[in-house]
Amino acid sequence: MRMWLVDPKLLCRQHLLGEHLEMHMFMGCIKNGTSLKGYIKNGLVEVDKILHRHNELADEMKLRGYCHKSNLDGEELLWCEGNVYVEKNIEDLKSRCKECQKRI
């Protein structure tokens, strides 16, 4: 699981939908009491941005004509922790995904 935090317009379909799913997975972990310590330590999630990021991704999905029916709740569960390195993620996306590379 990973939070890219890259402008959603730059993400290909696969990465846009994938990151959206992962916001739900992160929230599921929080609600189930599963530790996100490793994800936080490795710069893969900023816990306090999960809800906002989900909504950004959902908005982009709607702009592209995708169906979005999975709202995320649980704002009270989030605390401020983690640091995602967006520039590193942009380079990672460009190197691993030809579709994202075209969009970036």
Q: What is the per-residue pLDDT for 36?
A: 93
What pLDDT, on the 0 to 100 scale, is given for residue 87? 93
pLDDT of residue 94: 95
Residue 28 domain-assigned (yes or no) = yes
Domain that residue 26 falls in: 8-98
pLDDT score at 73: 80
Residue 70 lies in a domain: yes
1 domain residue, yes or no: no
pLDDT for the residue 76 = 64
> Distance between CA atoms of 67 and 36, rounded to whole angstroms?
29
Q: What is the pLDDT of residue 77?
A: 67
Query: Which DSSP state fits 84?
Result: -
How many domains does the chain contain in total? 1
Total-model pTM: 0.88
C-alpha 54/C-alpha 96 separation (Å) is 23
Residues of the chain with pLDDT under 50: none
Instruction: Compute the distance between CA of residue 81 and CA of residue 45 in angstroms, rounded to an integer.
Output: 8
Q: Which two tokens stand for residue 74?
A: 């649980």
Q: What are phi and psi of 20, to 5 degrees?
A: -60, -50
Give me the pLDDT at residue 61, please. 97
